[in-house]
Chain A
């Protein structure tokens, strides 16, 4: 399966600032990557589908102007949380579809964002 690197693993930022999270597919050219958000003790919720070279597709209720997604190459997708607020504090995880579309995706190790 694909090897996925997500960076940073933890970040603390001040309210009002922006934070960029990177998701890299190290050994596979990923045309599609997915971004999830996980609140404490809750399940993963899909935020958006990131497509290389085109605009991301956002799930209902996710603010596209707040969560900017850029998928400029086949190995890198970025999620930028703009004007972060404490309620944006969460665990963000990306995933990459493997070479076999029938099977599970590979997930990044996640980024824990804390906005103070």
Chain B
């Protein structure tokens, strides 16, 4: 079946540190891959996406590259800010369906 695995949190970084949140997936076919962010008390917001191998999604300084050979979609940011503190969810949407499969989420705390 389809599944998403993320690195366990919480992740605590100092402001301006480099961020990597690992995400790997298992899926049949060619899924689309997503990162969603959830700020405290809010719903999910789409952060970035990639729909095919070697695509790079980017937004607000965050990047992730669709790596089919390693079935990964790691999230990176060169310099985090306090305002980036949130929970980050990696997700996939199977090529043959509509429903998302979410990873467990990684909580990021950025300290000033």
Contact = CB atoms under 8 A, between A and B. Distances in A.
A24 B1 CA distance: 31
Contact of A104 (B41, B43, B93): B93
B98 A44 contact: no
Contact of B105 (A34, A42, A95, A104): A42
Contacts of A43: 89, 102-105
Contact of A109 (B36, B43, B103): B43
Interface in A98-116: 101-110, 112
A103 B49 contact: yes
B49 A104 contact: yes
Interface string B88-112: 0100010000111011110100000
Contacts, number: 53
Contact of B42 (A1, A101, A109): A109
A32 B98 contact: yes
A104 B44 CA distance: 11
Interface of B: 32, 34, 36, 41-46, 49, 51, 89, 93, 98-100, 102-105, 107
Interface of A: 1, 6, 32, 34, 41-46, 49, 93, 95, 97, 101-110, 112
Given A45-B102, A104-B36, 17 more contacts: A32-B98, A41-B105, A43-B103, A44-B102, A46-B99, A49-B98, A95-B44, A103-B32, A104-B46, A104-B93, A105-B100, A106-B46, A107-B43, A107-B44, A107-B45, A110-B42, A112-B41
